[in-house]
Chain A
Amino acid sequence: MTETRATREEQVLERIDRARRRKARVREEHITMAHGAGGKATQTLIEAVFLDAFRNPLLEPLEDGAVFGAGGARLAFTTDSYVVSPLFFPGGDIGDLAVNGTVNDLAVCGARPLYLSAAFVLEEGFPVDDLRRISASMARAAAAAEVSIVTGDTKVVQRGKADGCYVTTAGVGLLERDAPGVAHARPGDAVLVSGPVGEHGVTIMLARGELDIEADLVSDTAPLNGLVAALLAAEGEAVRCLRDATRGGVATILNEIARASGVAVVVEEDAVPVRPAVRGACELLGIDPLYVACEGRMVVVVDGEAAESALAALRGHPLGEGAAIVGRVRDDPPGLVLLKTGFGGTRIIDVLVGDPLPRIC
């Protein structure tokens, strides 16, 4: 009986897999918060609305940035909007977040970030002093990442029509080697993260003050171009994929890699670096640190043979001191991320549906 039951289960699972491969369709009539959370709903929206409208070969891979040739040079180009609340939080503010985010998107394309634009949407009544603070922090972040902010735009909307200040940055970078994409992972590769995960997301949740939890935590926001350069200099062709883990956390990136490369990623829960304060807060809130946003961490897939030397290269850089090998790439089951739990069991790590909602009991 177990035999037929198992077979039946397998059939159902295959049917589901087929359903999941179907063309994305937005069923909602209105945008909900889930569409912005970086999980499945965001993916569906992008594929069904934007990709449908803008379709072209550069956009189609849906990478963090587009890579193209122009006048003999190979360039990477990306953009990102920032709507974080609160605007100022331990370890950073919307300003350095906006610079680092775009720098990181370029860096993980394998590009050297050069120039950034900055556009501001300001709410009537927003304190000029706050804007000065944000701009100063952007200037510092740009200097640290060795990029210049060379163009910009300012708009003001009526009170109540925006939440203080939104920032949009775009950036171009010079591609110095072939971009490592999410589709290049192969069985036998090793999976690394560049440092403890989830610090930015938990810092923001706590900074909102709705939880009455206090912890000694700061955002991990940082420019990753130096770390990427160090890694690529040391490992070169052995680096298969690079992705900075932002919204949706490390779990979301691993799913993108597994899907795009047609491989399985097996992660050891105990190997994933998580600071105790992050683990404690996540435990209390019933969320998984693997899904929590980072702003200065990346996922790296390298040739299995190069795992230890890549780890050493990451750890040799100040932003990679906490790097760790967290898993490996297998051929089966393709497209899936599996976790060996600390308890010794196994489960899958799926793409998140929407915001990680806290459980109630």
Chain B
Amino acid sequence: MRFVDEYRDADKARALSAKIASLCEPGRAYKFMEVCGGHTHTIYKHGLEDYLPETITLVHGPGCPVCVIPMGRVDDAIHIAEQPDVIMTSFGDMMRVPGGRGSFFDATAGGADIRMVYSPLDALKIARREPDRRVVFMAIGFETTAPSTAVTVLRAAAEGVRNFSVFCNHVTIIPAIKAILDSPDLRLDGFIGPGHVSTIIGCRPYEFIARGYGKPLVVAGFEPLDILQSVYLLMLQLAEGRSEVENQYARVVPWAGNVKALRAVNEVMELRPYFEWRGLGFISHSALRMREAYAAYDAERLFDIPGDRVADPKACQCGEVLKGVLKPWECKVFGTACTPETPIGTCMVSSEGACAAYYNFGRFSRQRVREATR
């Protein structure tokens, strides 16, 4: 397949792998965080760690959109879905995320009308088709998905669709990275920067990481060679004593981002003073809400939501996993009480969640896997 196979070439991978190995200082261990869940998924799906020397560890970051949704917000969404005439819509990943009172799937089995959509525009389509129902879109995701939500609201407003609203849970990546950088329990050597988010926000917002914290960051694409090359670029920066923001994904990410998309988001949404992140707690100015001017499309204003905070289950260590302090398998309940079929924590739900990716694709000693496939 064109534009895919080129980025999965095993010969090129071997060459890059050798170059990476040659940059390793003897006796030094390296830790890089891939911020984005999409990268985590790629790393496990393609078995990318097989190309890295033992001394380089990839640490999985907080950039999985459903992983950071706190349980209380899921309960709020289910509460909305249970109101008369409501059709709740969301992305497929959301369906299994556990709230305090179960997941969307459980709510559907209990009679709520919750539908999976591929885009908020599909939700708007449902609203047009079913004018007697109130269609709510559970908006989740980072800057990647916020523009499509904003554009959908603008279109609903332009078309005068009155039975559509958004339950806004959009979050922003920079405060989360900052929280990780400020967290005392983690020592990182650099970051593999989120590719999709950067198509919107560009590369500039990361400069404080390179300058202020002295950590190199390479914005990376989502094919396995993209990630391998980014590791190489990070190693090169370290070897040369540089700390810069580099753009490996220049074929998609403009340095300045997507101004038009940012404008749409800014028109419809504003920063919340604070927002709770699953496992990370409250982070100030880390999420978006609908502006007053679009109150008619804001499910939080239209519905009387309980807004109760639900504490994460005691055994769950999603926070440590999201911060990269723990590897998925180091969590106390990983694989025993918490599995993809009965997830306790959100990291076990989405295929981008570090725990689910590890459980589904990697749950085996690399040594034995290598021997078995030799």
Q: Answer yes or no: A161 CB below 8 A from chain B CBs.
A: no
Known: A210-B118, A344-B51, A345-B47. A360 touches B340 (CB 8 A): no
Contact call A283/B44, Cβ cutoff below 8 A: no
Distance in angstroms between the alpha carbons of A348 and B335 in the assembled complex: 15
Distance in angstroms between the alpha carbons of A338 and B362 in the assembled complex: 10
Binds A, one of B105-113, B127-135, B159-167, B178-186: B105-113
Q: Answer yes or no: A354 CB below 8 A from chain B CBs.
A: yes
Looking at the assembled complex, report how far the CB atom of B76 sits from the nearest CB atom of chain A, in whole angstroms: 20
Q: Answer yes or no: A6 CB below 8 A from chain B CBs.
A: yes
Distance in angstroms between the alpha carbons of A210 and B123 in the assembled complex: 11
Distance in angstroms between the alpha carbons of A34 and B47 in the assembled complex: 27
Q: Show 21 residue pairs from A and B whose CB-CB distance is below 8 angstroms, ordered by the A residue.
A: A6-B367, A12-B330, A15-B336, A28-B109, A266-B373, A283-B4, A338-B364, A341-B46, A343-B47, A343-B225, A345-B48, A345-B224, A346-B366, A347-B46, A347-B369, A348-B362, A348-B363, A353-B96, A354-B105, A355-B92, A360-B65
Contact call B334/A333, Cβ cutoff below 8 A: no
Distance in angstroms between the alpha carbons of A19 and B363 in the assembled complex: 13
Question: Using Cβ atoms and an 8 Å threshold, which residues of chain B touch A343?
Answer: 8-10, 13, 46-48, 224-225
Q: Which residues of B contact A (CB under 8 A)?
A: 1, 4, 8-10, 13-14, 38, 41, 44-51, 54, 65, 91-93, 95-96, 105-106, 108-110, 116, 118, 122, 140-142, 144-145, 196, 224-225, 327, 329-330, 334-336, 339-342, 350-352, 359-373
Q: Answer yes or no: A286 CB below 8 A from chain B CBs.
A: yes
Q: Which residues of A contact B (CB under 8 A)?
A: 2, 6, 8-10, 12-13, 15-16, 19-20, 27-34, 40-41, 44, 210-211, 264, 266, 276, 279-280, 283, 286, 330, 332-333, 336, 338-348, 350, 353-355, 357-361
Contact call A358/B47, Cβ cutoff below 8 A: no
Contact call A340/B373, Cβ cutoff below 8 A: yes
Distance in angstroms between the alpha carbons of A34 and B341 in the assembled complex: 9
Closest 7 CB pairs of A and B: A345-B47, A16-B335, A357-B92, A344-B10, A30-B109, A360-B91, A343-B46
The one of A6, A9, A34, A341 that contacts B45, using a Cβ cutoff of 8 Å: A341
Known: A266-B372, A343-B48, A347-B46. A280 touches B1 (CB 8 A): yes
Contact call A346/B369, Cβ cutoff below 8 A: yes
The one of B48, B51, B109, B116 that contacts A31, using a Cβ cutoff of 8 Å: B109
Contact call A357/B340, Cβ cutoff below 8 A: no
Other A-B contacts than A350-B363, A357-B116, 7 sampled, CB-CB below 8 A, are A44-B341, A283-B1, A336-B364, A340-B47, A346-B50, A361-B144, A361-B145
Looking at the assembled complex, report how far the CB atom of A196 sits from the nearest CB atom of chain B, in whole angstroms: 14
Question: Using Cβ atoms and an 8 Å threshold, which residues of chain A touch B1?
Answer: 276, 279-280, 283
Contact call B335/A15, Cβ cutoff below 8 A: yes
Distance in angstroms between the alpha carbons of A210 and B116 in the assembled complex: 10
Distance in angstroms between the alpha carbons of A345 and B363 in the assembled complex: 14
Question: Using Cβ atoms and an 8 Å threshold, which residues of chain B touch A354?
Answer: 96, 105, 341
Distance in angstroms between the alpha carbons of A341 and B144 in the assembled complex: 28
Distance in angstroms between the alpha carbons of A266 and B371 in the assembled complex: 11
Chain A residue at smallest Cβ distance from B361: A347
Question: Using Cβ atoms and an 8 Å threshold, which residues of chain A touch B341?
Answer: 34, 40-41, 44, 353-354
Question: Using Cβ atoms and an 8 Å threshold, which residues of chain A touch B366?
Answer: 346
Looking at the assembled complex, report how far the CB atom of A41 sits from the nearest CB atom of chain B, in whole angstroms: 6
Chain A residue at smallest Cβ distance from B116: A357
Chain A residue at smallest Cβ distance from B369: A346
Looking at the assembled complex, report how far the CB atom of A313 sits from the nearest CB atom of chain B, in whole angstroms: 28
Known: A340-B373, A359-B41. A16 touches B363 (CB 8 A): yes
Distance in angstroms between the alpha carbons of A342 and B373 in the assembled complex: 13
Contact call A360/B364, Cβ cutoff below 8 A: no
Looking at the assembled complex, report how far the CB atom of A275 sits from the nearest CB atom of chain B, in whole angstroms: 11
Contact call A264/B95, Cβ cutoff below 8 A: no
Question: Using Cβ atoms and an 8 Å threshold, which residues of chain A touch B142?
Answer: 361
